[in-house]
Copies of this chain bind each other. A is one copy, B any other.
C-alpha cells in the first residue's frame, strides 16, 4: 500500500474485542507532523474528541495517532477523561515521545464501558515494534462494524502521495460506530495552510455524508502532513478532496443494510452552503432513501426534501433528474417510468436537483434505507 514518506503504521490485537480481531492501531512519524483536526460537534462527545480538539487549539505539531476499537470510552464520566490521557501517555511512552501532548487519541466501540487500559497498555510495545510502511494492519485495527477496510490513495504531479484510511458504519447496539478518517500526505503544506484547507475539504466531503442522520459521539477526520515534497497548495487541496470524497463514498456504500450508494448533486443554488445543505437533506430523507431502495423515481419526495431544507428554491424553475432522466422541470414531465425504475436497480444512484435560483453547487452521499437497516438496529437481546 502506498504509504506517503515519513509515516509508519501498525495494527495489533490487544484482546479488547471478544472476536480477537485487531483493535489497536498507530500512525507514527519520526518527525513533527503538521495536522488539522475536525470532529463531531455532538455535546455527548467522548473525551478523546475534547482532548484532541484542545491539542489542536494549542497549535503545536504531533508525532502520532493512537486508535483503539472495541471501546469508545464515551459516557464514562471523569474516569473516562483520565483514561483517555493515560491511553495517549502510554502510547507516547511506547513510541519514545515526550508525552500525550504529541499524541492524537481516537476510540471507537462500546459506550458506557470502562476503557480497558491494562490490555491496551500491555499491547503498546508490540504495536511500536510492528511499525512499518504497510497500512494494512492499521486499516483493520480501527474497524468495528464495517464489512471491510476503507482505504484510498492518490498521487500528485509533484510526486507527493496521499493515503486515506477510514472506518464508519451505522450504530449497532451497543456500539456507537463512529466515522474516522485519517488522511496522510507527504506533500509540503504548513499547518497554517493545512487547517483552513482541511476545513474546506471536510465541509464538502465527510460533512456531506449521511448514513442514517445520526452523528456519532466520536466522529473525527484528521489530516496529517510529513511536509517532505514541495507541492502547489491548490493541488494538495484538490487531491486531499478526491481522497476524502472516495472515503466518504466507501463509508456510504457500507452503511448498515445499504444496497445502493446515493449521490445527490444540487445545482442552481443561491450559495454553496445552501447547495450542500439541500443535497444533504435530500440524501438523508427517509422517503427518498426508501424510494431509491424500491427503484421508485419519486421526484415528489426529492422536491419535498429539498424544499424543507430551508434554502432558496423556485418550483417554477426547479429540475429533478434521476439517473440522467429529467422527471420535473418547473412542472411534471412525461417520462418512461419503467425505464427509469430499471435504471435505479443498480448499486450507484445519481439524483440531481437544480434549485433554479443561482449558480452554486453542492454534493452529498448517502445510501438506501432498507428492512435490513431496521433489523440490524432493532435487534436487541438482553
In whole angstroms, what is the CA distance A324 to B50 when docked?
A: 31
In whole angstroms, what is the CA distance A298 to B380 when docked?
A: 9
Known: A304-B215, A307-B42. A75 touches B380 (CB 8 A): no
In whole angstroms, what is the CA distance A74 to B301 when docked?
A: 12
Looking at the assembled complex, report how far the CB atom of A249 sits from the nearest CB atom of chain B, in whole angstroms. 20
Number of copies: 2
In whole angstroms, what is the CA distance A111 to B45 when docked?
A: 42
Pairs of residues from A and B, 7 with the lowest C-beta to C-beta distance, nearest first? A44-B307, A294-B378, A296-B380, A77-B331, A290-B377, A112-B332, A43-B313
- Cross-chain pairs A/B with CB under 8 angstroms, 23 sampled: A42-B308, A43-B308, A43-B310, A44-B307, A44-B313, A75-B303, A77-B316, A111-B300, A112-B299, A112-B332, A173-B291, A173-B298, A214-B305, A214-B308, A286-B286, A286-B377, A294-B378, A295-B380, A296-B380, A298-B380, A370-B374, A370-B378, A374-B374
Looking at the assembled complex, report how far the CB atom of A366 sits from the nearest CB atom of chain B, in whole angstroms. 12
Residue of B nearest to A214 (CB): B287
> Interface residue count for A (Cβ, 8 Å)?
71
For the complex, is A140 an interface residue (Cβ under 8 Å from B)?
Answer: no
For the complex, is A76 an interface residue (Cβ under 8 Å from B)?
Answer: yes
Residue of B nearest to A318 (CB): B44
In whole angstroms, what is the CA distance A206 to B197 when docked?
A: 42
- Say whether B307 contacts A174, CB under 8 Å: no
CB-CB under 8 A from A374, the residues of chain B are: 290, 293, 369-371, 373-374
CB-CB under 8 A from A296, the residues of chain B are: 173, 378, 380
Interface of A is mostly: loop
CB-CB under 8 A from A312, the residues of chain B are: 43
Chain B CB within 10 A, most for which of A171, A212, A378: A378
For the complex, is A216 an interface residue (Cβ under 8 Å from B)?
Answer: yes
Known: A286-B212, A315-B43, A328-B75. A217 touches B298 (CB 8 A): no
Looking at the assembled complex, report how far the CB atom of A335 sits from the nearest CB atom of chain B, in whole angstroms. 11
- Say whether A304 contacts B171, CB under 8 Å: yes
- Say whether B300 contacts A379, CB under 8 Å: no
In whole angstroms, what is the CA distance A308 to B178 when docked?
A: 14
- Say whether B380 contacts A341, CB under 8 Å: yes
Residues facing B in A319-345 (CB within 8 A) are 328, 330-332, 337-338, 341
CB-CB under 8 A from A337, the residues of chain B are: 382
